[in-house]
């Protein structure tokens, strides 16, 4: 198995699903950004952008207010 950056197959950008998956792996599982960059064959900056975008989106997401009389 080859390790590291595959120079013949370097992606310029991540798909939406890859961005969400990379951000989840970074924020929830604690996988380092440079490791994710190597797995997706992208520059580490693309991973950083994805993680920041998800973090920013979650910080402005409306919070749900639960009341005692709500039934689920």
Burial class of 47 by CB neighbour count within 10 A (0 to 12, 13 to 18, 19+): buried
In this prediction, residues 44-72 reach a mean pLDDT of 81
Task: Give the tens place of pLDDT for each residue, 1-50.
Answer: 456 555 566 667 899 999 999 999 999 999 999 999 999 999 999 999 99
48 token code pair: 């950083």
**What's the whole-model pTM score?**
0.68
CA dist 23 and 40 (Å) reads 12
């Amino acid at each position: 198995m080859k390790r590291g950056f595959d120079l013949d197959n370097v992606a310029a950008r991540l798909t939406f699903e890859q961005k969400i998956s990379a951000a989840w792996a970074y924020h929830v599982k604690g996988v380092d950004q440079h490791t994710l960059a190597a797995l997706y064959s992208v520059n580490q900056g693309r991973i950083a952008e994805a993680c920041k975008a998800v973090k920013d989106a979650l910080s402005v997401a409306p919070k749900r207010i639960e009341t005692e009389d709500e039934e689920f």
